Amino acid sequence: MSRRTESEYLPDLTAPDVVPKVTTPAFPSRRTVLPGIALVFVLVVWEFGLPVVGVESYILPTPSAIAGAFVANHEVILSQLWVTISEFLAGFTATVVSGYLLALAMTYSRTLEATVYPYVVVVRSIPVVTLLPIFIIWFGFGMSSIVVISFLISFFPMVVNSLSGFKSADEDLVEMLESFSATRREVFWNVYRYASLPSVFAGLKICTILAFTGAIVGEFLIGQAGIGYLILEYNSSLATPEMFASIFVVSATELLIFGTIHRVESVVVDWR
């Protein structure tokens, strides 16, 4: 029996599975640090620079005045914000469901796509504000017309992105499943659903911004409640700190919804 040399008993440190991993301590990335530094810089200049240059508070209040206005009026601001969120959720839900289903139907029927898609483009090309008198006649003032505005503004991106996602599916894989007598439901569930997810989530993030904007614009024009209506009320009484507090609350809410959708996307579309 041959004797084994000492080197044969030693592990091969050049092998990928035994190379020691060197871990580096986790530091905040530049994408987090730099925006934070910029925000702090802007707030400091804003807070202490306005009194120096003599800008009146009714023109541009300081961040501390805006924060104080929010604390003093947070119940009113948040209650009106909930009205806007309710209008947004109604318009956004209608957009997502109808836009996704319409895109799926056009994917399965080229005839339907050739018939309906041009009208989707035409509807998008019409400024929604010009349709406002018709909405008032049909739905009256208040929430119903605002939901319709929110829906129409955000409908086109949902249809286009969903349709693009469905069309990105591997047709060879679809034909293979159909050759094994797979039903349309099985083809959708195993091919189209996965292929469309990245584009669908892109559409969802766009629709979030547009649907929320549509709700606020509707409140500006015909609203009787909501955060947009409240901003106009503060503006008419020159309550500028309260107006800025309402605007910042709207921005924070919109970013929170957008971030939630982005987080869900990172979990659902995990293969990316």
Q: CA 37 → CA 40, 42, 48, 179, 180, distances in Å?
A: 5, 9, 17, 58, 58
pLDDT reported for residue 100: 93
- Residue 82 confidence (pLDDT) above 90: yes
pTM assigned to the model? 0.78
Residue 234 in tokens: 């503060």
Query: Which pLDDT band, with edges at 50, 70 and 90, does 3 fall under?
Result: low
Residue 111 domain flag: yes
Residue 13 domain flag: no
Give the span between the Cα atoms of 269 and 272, in whole angstroms. Answer: 6
Q: What CATH number corresponds to the domain at position 93?
A: 1.10.3720.10
Q: The tokens 């004797």 sit on which residue?
A: 3
**For 182-204, what is the mean pLDDT?**
84
Into how many domains does the chain fold? 1
Question: What is the phi/psi pair of residue 126, to 5°?
Answer: -85, 125
43-72 tens-digit pLDDT: 888 888 877 777 777 788 888 889 999 999
Q: Give the domain range for residue 126.
A: 76-268
Q: Are 68 and 180 in contact (CB under 8 A)?
A: no
Residue 258 domain flag: yes
SS3 29: coil
